[in-house]
Amino acid sequence: MRVSIRPFAPLAPIARLASVAPLGAALALAALGTTLATRAEAADPRSSRFCSSCHSDIAKQWGASSMAHSWSNPVFQSFLADAKAALGPSIQANCISCHAPLASVTGDANVEGDINKEGVTCNFCHNVTAVDVSPKAASYTWDPSDPNKMQGPFNDSDAGVTHSSTFNPLFSQGEFCASCHWYGDDKGTLTFEGTHPSWKGSKAAAAGTQCQDCHMPPGPGKTAITAKVSRDKMWPHHFLGAHTPGVLDSTATLAAVVEGGKLKLTVTNRRGGHSLPGGGASMRAITLEVAYTNAAGAELSRALVQTYDTEFADASGKSPVPKWLAKSVARSNEIPADAAKVEWAAIPAGAKSAEAILTYHFLLPAYRDALVAKKVDLTGHDPVVMARAKVALP
Ligand code: HEC
Ligand code: HEC
Ligand code: HEC
Ligand code: HEC
Ligand code: HEC
Angle, to 10 degrees, between the axis of helix 92-99 and the axis of helix 74-87?
160
Residue 65 CA: which ligand 3 atom is closest?
26
Q: What is the pLDDT of residue 102?
A: 97
Residue 198 CA: which ligand 4 atom is closest?
38
What residue owns the CA closest to ligand 1's atom 27? 152
| Mean pLDDT, the chain, integer | 89
Q: What is the mean pLDDT of residues 15-34?
A: 29
CA distance 42 to 132: 26
Q: What is the pLDDT of residue 249?
A: 87
Ligand with the closest atom to the CA of 226: 1
Nearest CA to 291 out of 394, 363, 389 is that of 389
**Who contacts 50 (Cβ-Cβ below 8 Å, separation ≥6)?**
none
Nearest CA to 137 out of 107, 95, 79, 78 is that of 95
CA distance 38 to 161: 7
50-103 residue pLDDT tens: 999 999 999 999 999 999 999 999 999 999 999 999 999 999 999 999 999 999
Q: Compute CA distances 121 → 62, 99, 181, 335, 342, whole Å.
A: 8, 10, 16, 31, 41
What residue owns the CA closest to ligand 1's atom 25? 152
Q: What is the mean pLDDT of residues 293-315?
A: 97
Mutate which of 46, 51, 53 for ligand 1? The one with the most ligand atoms within 8 Å of its CB, which is: 51
Q: Is the pLDDT of residue 23 over 50?
A: no
- Taken in order 178, 181, 187, 190, is the CA torsion positive or negative? negative
294 CA from centroid of ligand 5 (Å): 44
**Who contacts 226 (Cβ-Cβ below 8 Å, separation ≥6)?**
54, 159, 160
Domain spans of the chain?
12-234, 247-392
CA distance 99 to 124: 11
What residue owns the CA closest to ligand 2's atom 40? 122
**Residue 125 CB less than 6 A away from ligand 2:** yes
Q: What is the mean pLDDT of residues 246-273?
A: 93
Q: Is the pLDDT of residue 293 over 80?
A: yes
What residue owns the CA closest to ligand 3's atom 7? 180
Count of Cβ atoms closer than 10 Å to residue 193 Cβ: 22
The gap between the terminal CA atoms of the chain, to the nearest Å, is 53
Q: What is the mean pLDDT of residues 290-314?
A: 97
Residue pair 303/345 in contact by the 8 Å Cβ criterion: yes
Q: What is the pLDDT of residue 246?
A: 87
Q: What is the pLDDT of residue 43?
A: 58
Q: Give the least confident one: 173-177, 196-200, 245-249.
A: 245-249
Q: Is the pLDDT of residue 35 over 50?
A: no
Q: What is the pLDDT of residue 122?
A: 98
Amino acid at 203: K
CATH architecture of residue range(s) 247-392? Sandwich (2.60)
Count of Cβ atoms closer than 10 Å to residue 248 Cβ: 22
Residue pair 138/130 in contact by the 8 Å Cβ criterion: no
pTM of the model: 0.92
Ligand with the closest atom to the CA of 137: 5
Residue pair 341/308 in contact by the 8 Å Cβ criterion: yes
Output the ligand 3 site: residues, CB below 6 A. Answer: 65-67, 69-70, 73, 76, 98-99, 101, 120, 176-177, 179-181, 211-212, 215, 239, 241-244
354-373 residue pLDDT tens: 999 999 999 999 999 999 99
What residue owns the CA closest to ligand 2's atom 35? 51
CA distance 46 to 357: 46
Q: What is the pLDDT of residue 9?
A: 24
Tell the burial category of 143 from Cβ atoms under 10 Å away from its Cβ (0-12, 13-18, 19+): middle
129 CA from centroid of ligand 1 (Å): 16
183-221 residue pLDDT tens: 999 888 999 999 999 999 999 999 999 999 999 999 999
Output the ligand 1 site: residues, CB below 6 A. Answer: 46, 50-51, 53-55, 122-123, 126, 150, 152-154, 157-159, 162-163, 165, 167, 223-224, 226-227, 229, 231
Q: What is the pLDDT of residue 239?
A: 96
Instruction: Tell whether omega for the bond before 220 is within 30 degrees of 0, i.e. cis.
Output: no
Residue pair 79/322 in contact by the 8 Å Cβ criterion: yes
